[in-house]
Structure 1
Amino acid sequence: MKSIRNALNAAAETLSVKTPSSSSSSSSPHDLRGKVVSVGAMRIKCGDAIADGGMATVYRGRVLDDPGNNIRDVAVKQMLLPHDSSVSELDARREVELHARLSHHECVVAQLAHDVRLVPLPGGDGDCYRVLAVLELCSESLADALATAASRGEYMEETEALRAFHAAASAIARMHAETPSPLLHRDVKPENVLRARDGDGGGWKLCDFGSARVGCVPLATANDRARAEAEMVRVTTPPYRSPELWDAFRFAEIGPPSDVWALGCVLYQALFNALPFGAESRMAALNGTFTIPKHRSSGAGGAAGGGNGRSDAAVELTRATLVVDPMRRVTAAAAANRARALITGEGVDDDAWRRMVAKALGGGGGGGGGDPSAPPPPPMTRAGSGGGATAATTTTVPATDGGWADFGAAPPPVAAAPSRGGSGSGGGDNDATWAAFDDVAASSATTTTSRRGGSDGGGAAAGFGFGDASTWATFDAFAAPPAPPSPSITPPPVRIPPPAPAPHVAVAADVATDVATGLASRVAALETELAASAERERALTTRLADAKLALRDEQKEVARLQGELSAVRNAMKLG
């Protein structure tokens, strides 16, 4: 088996194309440049290699003979796969047969024909499976388009970014709709989203189903998680891995939401030409920590949204796909429909989408609490020494529960007669301050106040009021009417609770705890498996020793019988 793999790797190295435009021939029997190949009913002359991925090489081809079709340019993808097990042929056929099931979809790169057969390895050291797939020829990948825009200091137009996302999401939604089990792509990235040639409509299409899988990946047992983690390293690309791909201990399974996360990463990259979680994305992805960068859009489709050069709707769609909890992520079908609505402008105000976003982002569609549209309280005044009105200096802060906190230089304008003290008048102090806390603007509160002070207006005063379904409190220093001697009334101290820890700190702590717990569980499971393996090894060793002893006895018996047989033969000869 090792020699077969070594020979196959040598063949792959031989097929490596240093310069895609080179037309020089190679001595390798599997280099298709300049050769005519037959795939199904099609005869194709292969040209230069246009892509090389180790085990796969893609050539530009020209159809020479295809009954019922016009001569046209195509792409020919060749894969060399090992023939080293009973399931090798199934593995070789899996990608092209899955692709054939999806090829009719308008957002999937069309596969026109395919062929799988055994061929000798270079040097005659065994065989390998050669897979040929004839695909429609596309003009460029989304990764190429973004790189071109970046080299010019530009960004892709928002509408074009949404078109690419819509195509990929539509194709993924088609895969997830397969019955009885969904198909998972597992390697959605800009390199696998291709733009069709202008003559074929110029739309975007999804390709490369080499990592695809039928059905979800269970994560119920230690063996499930170990297999899943090993497989994910092999078939997925790190910057586009979802949290459940990074930490198999936190989730029940890997399913369609994982593809949706990758789609969100692709949309983010198309909008902002950057990776949402960076190249080293594990902890950032597990925490769901990303920012919306600010930039100047170069295209007409980049309507300003929140100062980031992209529309709020496009940013909202991105956020809805990058939710850590896979059960709260929007579906690929919903994301595709939303992208289409943003492109066409039809059905933008969709109630079903709003409900889905509210579930994904935790209420209100964009997260956070309170009603940002609630009006602030009206400006307030306080009486001056001459009985005139002096405008208050007021700061209004919306509260997260929908109420208001107001800080200014005047008391609430509506106050009942004091419950303590006498009557009189005095001059106010213009630099006095007060605060009101209410579910509505302070002007609507009906209050009862208590005051302390003198005719010179220099005393401190505190008031507490309770209205119908609303409360407010004031702290002020202003003149109060003359009052008979009375015990001092000191307001209770204002206790300000310590600030709550930042959400990302709490999340990081939770993640650290989860990771530690998961690692401990994994270590325990591995120790159990190791102990079981050691026990099996001991049992097998004992059986092997017994078998050797039995074999030795049998050999002795065979030798004894052979001796008797020889003696009989000798006796017969002498007789």
Structure 2
Amino acid sequence: MVDIFKSAIDAAFGAGSTARITNNIGFGGGVLGVGSGGVKSDFTGQIVDVGNIRLRVGNQIAEGGYALVFIAYDVKTNKEYALKRLYAADDSAKKAIAQEITFLQKLNGDQHIVPYIAAASNQDTTLRRTEYLLVTEYCAGGRLYERVVHRSKPLEVEQVIQIFYQICRAVKHMHEQEPPIIHRDLKVENCLLTSAGFIQLCDFGSATTKVYLPDETWTVKKRDYVEDEMTKVTTPMYRAPEMLDTYNNHPINEQVDIWALGCLLYYLCFINHPFEDSAKLRILNAKYTIPANNTRYTVLHDLIRTLLQIDPRQRPTIHTLVENIEDLAIGNDVGLNEPLLFLFNPNETFSSTSPSNPAAAAAAPGGGGNAPTIPPRAAPAGGSTSSFSAGVSSYIPSSIKGINTSGKSWMKNILDTSSKVITEGVQQVKQTLATNVPTTSTAGTSPGSGHHFEVDLSYIST
């Protein structure tokens, strides 16, 4: 079997770059380390070229919905990556996946967002679905959930503050975009740890920039539609009241993430969820209980109550929340810039491509261990520019080409736009691409194939 994947933009890799998957019979663990965890599948052992990276697919390490996640290894350096394999059977699913990739690109460069590497897609004519590959950095420290739930003793209040602050910094980066990006599925399971001991937020499949403003003109049908959509893209225990019932006419916006952060903070403190049973009435009325006689986290009780306000307009913005945590840290002598080494075992090691222990990773230059600094407080500014944007801006091509070859129909969505283009707005991306990319039969041909290049811009998200 040979499947060809086409990178949506050839810019950083040179025109005509393709992604190829081939069987690799006889693949085993050994130096690649895939035997250390995960589950083997029919995808395990294949070689994947996405953009300019050639990867050997390891074991499946996660799954959910229509996506599977594999660990993958650079065949030259043995560096680990996370390879997400997604399937879309209709236009709505294609648009959702394209939007997830767009958000990852736009957010790239923030220390607390999992770094985007590349993406590609292929139309499977046999099963009538589109297959996508999304490559991101691999967080060797695993999920925060496992690190917290399997501890032999509760977290200290200082440790909870440190963890929560890093998560809030990721959300702050999202909400500072223009328009704000709303995660909508914040939970402890979507927080990963790098080998250096820093939190990185992942899974932007539910993210959106769409805001709903219910009012008395909304029909029952419209309310039912929105509530149904919220059910599809959120996790019940973390769902905000305004998502469950639109009849209060509360705005559904980025403040849903603040509610989820309240649930997350509660979990970090008590290793239990405030709405464990996901009961609608309890969520609508914010009926939860802070454990009686708890004194360990007294300093955080009021913050939890502030975040879990029924009316989203009564919750703090992410900017206010971050400032409150910084003030709290100063008052309790908490170092917010430190890696979360207390979550690791003293002698814990990672793969041969990672530093031998978290402390070494934190100190390694360029190894993800540079501690984030608390920036000077200023008014929120949208569309912050990351170092990644500067790194790729000079490689934006004058034209972008999709490709048809070997009798296969290729997905021609734009999946790998540079961050510089993204920050200028999706509409501008459309205009730029439409100007530079011919979409008629005169556009050119794939070398040796006789098939025409073309690009379909219909799935660029707005």
Given the superposition, is the C-alpha separation of residues 226 and 51 from structure 1 closer, same or farther in structure 2, using an over 3 Å criterion?
same
Asked whether the equivalents of residues 20 and 51 of structure 1 are also in contact (C-alpha less than 8 Å), the reply is no
Question: In the alignment, what sits opposite 2:49?
Answer: 38
Question: In the alignment, what sits opposite 2:200?
Answer: 205
Selected match of 1:109 from 107, 114, 127: 114
Structure 1 vs Structure 2 CA RMSD = 2.4
The 10-residue stretch of structure 1 (157-166 or 94-103) with the greater mean CA deviation from structure 2: 157-166
Asked whether the equivalents of residues 118 and 135 of structure 2 are also in contact (C-alpha less than 8 Å), the reply is yes
How big is the shift at 1:225?
Answer: 1.5
TM alignment of 1:52-63, pairs within 5 A: 52-63=63-74
CA distance in 1, matches of 2:162, 2:260: 16
CA distance in 1, matches of 2:138, 2:38: 22
TM alignment of 1:17-32, pairs within 5 A: 21=37, 24=40, 26=42, 31=43
Amino acid corresponding to residue 245 of structure 1 in structure 2: M
Asked whether the equivalents of residues 85 and 131 of structure 2 are also in contact (C-alpha less than 8 Å), the reply is no
CA distance in 2, matches of 1:125, 1:311: 53
For structure 2, the 5+ residue unaligned runs are 1-34, 335-462
| 1:497-544 Cα deviation digits (max 9, x unpaired) | xxxxxxxxxxxxxxxxxxxxxxxxxxxxxxxxxxxxxxxxxxxxxxxx
Amino acid corresponding to residue 77 of structure 1 in structure 2: K
How many residues align? The count is 297
SS at match of 1:214: coil
Given the superposition, is the C-alpha separation of residues 51 and 90 from structure 1 closer, same or farther in structure 2, using an over 3 Å criterion?
same
Given the superposition, is the C-alpha separation of residues 344 and 113 from structure 1 closer, same or farther in structure 2, using an over 3 Å criterion?
farther
CA distance in 1, matches of 2:303, 2:83: 36
Alignment pair present for 1:332 and 2:339: no
What's the TM-score once normalised by structure 2's chain length? 0.60
Question: In the alignment, what sits opposite 1:279?
Answer: 277
Question: In the alignment, what sits opposite 2:328?
Answer: 342
Given the superposition, is the C-alpha separation of residues 193 and 218 from structure 1 closer, same or farther in structure 2, using an over 3 Å criterion?
same
TM alignment of 1:207-246, pairs within 5 A: 207-220=202-215, 221-222=218-219, 223-246=221-244
TM alignment of 1:454-493, pairs within 5 A: none
| 1:61-84 Cα deviation digits (max 9, x unpaired) | 11125xxxx6521111111111x3
CA distance in 2, matches of 1:258, 1:23: 35
CA distance in 2, matches of 1:309, 1:346: 15
Say which structure is richer in helix.
Answer: 1
What is the aligned-residue identity percentage?
29
Question: In the alignment, what sits opposite 1:81?
Answer: 88
SS at match of 2:312: coil
SS at match of 1:327: helix
Asked whether the equivalents of residues 84 and 134 of structure 2 are also in contact (C-alpha less than 8 Å), the reply is yes
CA distance in 2, matches of 1:142, 1:281: 25
CA distance in 2, matches of 1:160, 1:78: 34
Question: In the alignment, what sits opposite 1:126?
Answer: 128
Question: In the alignment, what sits opposite 1:522?
Answer: none
Given the superposition, is the C-alpha separation of residues 41 and 285 from structure 1 closer, same or farther in structure 2, using an over 3 Å criterion?
same
Amino acid corresponding to residue 210 of structure 1 in structure 2: G
CA distance in 1, matches of 2:304, 2:329: 15
Question: In the alignment, what sits opposite 1:98?
Answer: 103
| 1:539-573 Cα deviation digits (max 9, x unpaired) | xxxxxxxxxxxxxxxxxxxxxxxxxxxxxxxxxxx
Given the superposition, is the C-alpha separation of residues 91 and 286 from structure 1 closer, same or farther in structure 2, using an over 3 Å criterion?
closer
SS at match of 2:313: coil
| 1:7-57 Cα deviation digits (max 9, x unpaired) | xxxxxxxxxxxx99466553xxxx2x1111011111111111111114111
Question: In the alignment, what sits opposite 1:162?
Answer: 161
For structure 1, the 5+ residue unaligned runs are 1-18, 295-306, 349-575
How big is the shift at 1:209?
Answer: 0.4
Asked whether the equivalents of residues 141 and 192 of structure 1 are also in contact (C-alpha less than 8 Å), the reply is yes
Asked whether the equivalents of residues 119 and 130 of structure 1 are also in contact (C-alpha less than 8 Å), the reply is no
Asked whether the equivalents of residues 103 and 110 of structure 1 are also in contact (C-alpha less than 8 Å), the reply is yes
CA distance in 2, matches of 1:218, 1:342: 33
CA distance in 2, matches of 1:20, 1:227: 45
